[in-house]
């Protein structure tokens, strides 16, 4: 991948197509725009567009567009949380396997809940949630810790200091705990979809080892309240 030539400094920001096309993770020229995948934005007729949208459309006609990453999808069924979770489950780049495991997990959750639904008496049927995506999101939300611990060294000793967490970090920790719990603390011969669906259903009901781990973390943070002033950010 050759870097674009620096000759023609005056025309740097104008659109030009180099002989060798840049790949997604290399440095794009700032003139490149992000791709738009939502089908709704292309289906609007010209009259309904506002001024800014018209300008944006004209800009897109003259500027080059970055390559769309493979994880960006225009499907109505795509969900960024599910994609993130699938990526975290992936090993050695085997996205096909990770994605099939994820879809088998969602199907397993749906089957278990539907069986419960059909066996339940009429008045309890509304309380049973059968949508695997709702269960997945709720389970992840229940697993997210509110406060975390970070190691700060003062005077030679390392203290565990309670520290607020960003949203990204909370989501990451929830997903990481779920996956590690399934990989390590279960019987060797159980399949991943089975283990994961069981864990997700437990987390949805605020039970299970992952919720326990979250509570343990909260207790530790509460116990180490005294060191909270060590934090300087």
CB-based burial, 99-130: b 16+ in 10 Å, e otherwise = bebbebbbebbbebbeeeeeeeeeeeeeeeeb
What are the phi and psi torsion angles at 149 (to 5°)?
Answer: -120, 145
Q: Which of 22, 89, 98, 132 binds other proteins (CB under 8 A)?
A: 132
**Which span sits near other proteins by CB under 8 A: 110-118, 156-164, 174-182, 197-205?**
110-118
Q: What residues numbered 70-109 form the site for other proteins, per CB under 8 A?
A: 75-77, 102-104, 106-107
Tokens of 73: 């999808």
- Cβ distance to other proteins smaller for residue 38 or 157: 38
- Cβ distance to other proteins smaller for residue 82 or 149: 82
Binding mask 4-43 for other proteins (x = CB under 8 A): -----------------------------------x----
- Cβ distance to other proteins smaller for residue 111 or 154: 111
**Which span sits near other proteins by CB under 8 A: 12-20, 59-67, 114-122, 140-148?**
114-122
- Cβ distance to other proteins smaller for residue 110 or 213: 110
What separation in angstroms does the CA of 133 have from each of 111, 142, 182, 197?
13, 14, 19, 12
Based on the number of CB atoms within 10 Å of its own CB, is 229 exposed (0-12), middle (13-18) or buried (19 or more)?
exposed
Q: Is 233 in the site for other proteins (CB under 8 A)?
A: no
- Cβ distance to other proteins smaller for residue 114 or 146: 114
- Cβ distance to other proteins smaller for residue 102 or 161: 102
Q: Which of 111, 183, 225, 231 binds other proteins (CB under 8 A)?
A: 111
Q: Which of 65, 114, 146, 226 binds other proteins (CB under 8 A)?
A: 114
- Cβ distance to other proteins smaller for residue 49 or 130: 130
Q: Which residues bind other proteins (CB under 8 A)?
A: 39, 75-77, 102-104, 106-107, 110-111, 114-115, 117-118, 130-133
């Amino acid at each position: 991948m050759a870097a674009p030539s620096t000759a023609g400094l005056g025309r740097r920001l104008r659109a030009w197509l180099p002989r060798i096309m840049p790949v997604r993770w290399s440095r794009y020229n700032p003139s490149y725009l992000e791709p738009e995948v939502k089908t709704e934005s292309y289906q609007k007729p010209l009259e309904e567009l506002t001024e800014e949208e018209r300008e944006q459309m004209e800009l897109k006609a003259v500027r080059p567009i970055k390559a769309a990453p493979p994880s960006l999808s225009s499907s109505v069924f795509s969900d960024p949380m599910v994609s993130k979770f699938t990526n975290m489950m992936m090993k050695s780049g085997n996205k096909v396997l990770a994605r099939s495991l994820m879809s088998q997990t969602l199907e397993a959750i749906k089957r278990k809940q539907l069986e419960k639904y059909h066996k339940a008496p009429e008045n309890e049927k509304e309380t049973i949630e059968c949508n695997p995506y709702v269960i997945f999101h709720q389970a992840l939300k229940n697993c997210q810790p509110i406060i975390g611990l970070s190691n700060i060294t003062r005077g030679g000793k390392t203290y565990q200091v309670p520290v607020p967490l960003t949203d990204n970090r909370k989501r990451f920790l929830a997903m990481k705990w779920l996956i590690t719990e399934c990989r390590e603390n279960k019987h060797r011969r159980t399949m991943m979809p089975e283990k994961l669906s069981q864990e997700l259903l437990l987390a949805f009901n605020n039970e299970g080892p992952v919720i326990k781990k979250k509570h343990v973390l909260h207790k530790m943070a509460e116990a180490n309240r005294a060191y909270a002033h060590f934090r300087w950010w």
